[in-house]
Amino acid sequence: MRFSRCPTPCTGRIWSKSSISTPTPPSARWTTEPPVRPADPPAVPAAVPGGRIAAATQSARREAAVKRKATFERAPKDLVIGGLITLAGGTLWGINATVSKILMNDYGADPLWIANVRQLGAGLLFLAIAAATQPKALAGAVRDRGLYMRYVAGAVIGVMATQVTYLQAIRWTNPGTATVLQTLNLLFVLLWVCVRGRRLPGAREVVGVALAFSGVVLLATGGDLTTLQLPLMGLLWGLGDAMATASMSFVPVKALARWGNFPVQGIMFLLSGLLMTPFVRPWSGGPQLDWTGVALMAFTVVAGTFGAYWLYMTGVVRIGAMRATMLGTSEPVMATISAVLLTGAVFTPTDLGGFALILAMVFLVR
């Protein structure tokens, strides 16, 4: 907090060079007239910047901002509720990966079709919530022409690339492996931060990178360095997903800071879906879904995408980004468990060891 310096000493006495060099003798202190204190300046109206009420309001806002930044000084109730909300969001995202795999395997749904429908549906939900809760921010985000190119970049590089690469990684591997590979986005964020900051990684970050690299090697080779057990296309799609996910940490930052999460995410999701629609033509190339398939598709749009994001961001507000990132490791865990239970996926001890090494990286690279 910044404090303004008092223009005169707290006693109100005016000091001059002569008064310092020739102090009043003790015998004359009660015979001389006390220094005249200048009159207080007229009060400035509160509406004028710098007025007393305005200054007090600004000071209160600064104090509130400092309290919000103190992540580790939150009430136990907020930590418990925020932690549960964050875990719920991670659980939905992990299960969403398995639901997508079922749609691909049992109904023949193409990853591009799933991504297109998911983006359109989630984008409309984001915008509906933004219109109901943040109408001014939504209107401002739509009228802000200076951010249009950022919206397009976020829609293509961030949302579209993330959705397509993630679904392709699930198609070529399995939900657990694809979600673990997505966690490697932290390494690309670290690379970006080091390049922008012109610094080298710290000791903890180097250890995290080494663990993540070792985990990827175990997943790809199964412990035998002479063979490649993980499909190469699955590995490449997974690494591409990690890069695309990392881009969401800096491409839409300016827009998010100006207008908030729901308006900006709604614009980017909807724009991404609209850009894909002429090529995917979801009305003509969709799979034949029964009622179970419709329910699964509704889950992946409403709960798996929109709901997971909403819960996760709500948890971040309550417990802070650092704790949320750590609790976000529930995503690959739930993706692995649900894949075993619902799709019959089999994971070897080497696979689980690779998962553990990559997830350990999350707690070192922050």
pLDDT tens-digit series, residues 208-232: 999 999 999 999 888 887 888 899 9
Provide the pLDDT for residue 83.
Answer: 87
> Bigger pLDDT: 322 or 68?
322
**Closest among 190, 326, 325, 311 to 261, alpha carbons compared:** 311
Percent of residues, the chain, with pLDDT higher than 90: 52
Q: b/e string for 117-146 if b means 16 or more Cβ within 10 A? A: bbbbbbbbbbbebbeeebeebbeebbebee
More confident residue, 135 or 45: 135
- In the structure, what pLDDT confidence band is assigned to residue 326 with cuts at 50, 70 and 90? confident
End-to-end CA distance of the chain: 26
Q: What pLDDT is recorded for position 366?
A: 64
User: Tell me, what amino acid is at 235?
Assistant: L
In this structure, of 32-41, 80-89, 261-270, the range with the lowest mean pLDDT score is 32-41
Across 71-98, average pLDDT:
82
In the predicted structure, residue 126 carries a pLDDT above the cut 50: yes
> Residue 116 is which amino acid?
N
Rounded-to-integer distance, Cα 40 and Cα 336, Å? 70
Measured from the Cβ of residue 180, the count of other Cβ atoms closer than 10 Å reads 31
**Residue 7: pLDDT over 90:** no
Residue 25 confidence (pLDDT): 45
Nearest to 145 by CA among 262, 267, 250, 244: 267
Q: What is the DSSP letter of 147?
A: G
Q: How many CB atoms lie within 10 A of CB 252?
A: 24
- 312 against 299, higher pLDDT: 299
pLDDT of residue 14: 41
Q: Is the pLDDT of residue 129 over 90?
A: yes
Within 13 Å of residue 108, how many CA atoms lie on the same side as its CB?
Answer: 6
Considering only residues 17 and 37, tell me which one the structure prediction assigns the higher pLDDT.
37
Rounded average pLDDT over 6-31: 42
d(CA 315, CA 84): 8
The amino acid at residue 251 is V
Q: Backbone dihedral region of 25: left (phi > 0), alpha (psi from -120 to 50 degrees) or beta? A: beta
The average confidence (pLDDT) of the chain is 82
Count of helices and strands (H, E) across the chain? 18, 0
pLDDT in tens, 20-40: 444 444 444 444 445 555 554
d(CA 339, CA 345): 6
pLDDT classification of 325: cutoffs 50, 70, 90: confident
Listed range (27-41, 115-129, 345-359) with the worst mean pLDDT: 27-41
Classify 5 in phi/psi space as left (phi over 0), alpha (psi -120 to 50) or beta.
beta
From residue 219, how far is each of 72, 205, 222, 241, 344 by CA, in Å? 35, 21, 6, 16, 18
Count of alpha carbons within 13 angstroms of residue 6, beta-carbon side: 7
Angle between helices 203-221 and 175-182 (to 10 degrees): 160
Percent of residues in the chain assigned helix, strand, coil, to nearest 5 = 75, 0, 25
Asked whether the beta carbons of 187 and 361 are under 8 A apart, the reply is yes
Locate 279 and state its tokens.
Answer: 């090529």
Q: Which amino acid is at 269?
A: F
- Comparison of pLDDT for 181 and 7, the residue scoring more: 181
CA distance 96 to 59: 45
The arithmetic mean of pLDDT across residues 263-279, rounded, is: 95
Name the pLDDT band for 53 (thresholds 50, 70, 90): very low
Residues 6+ apart with CB under 8 A from 325: 186, 362, 366
Tell me the pTM: 0.76
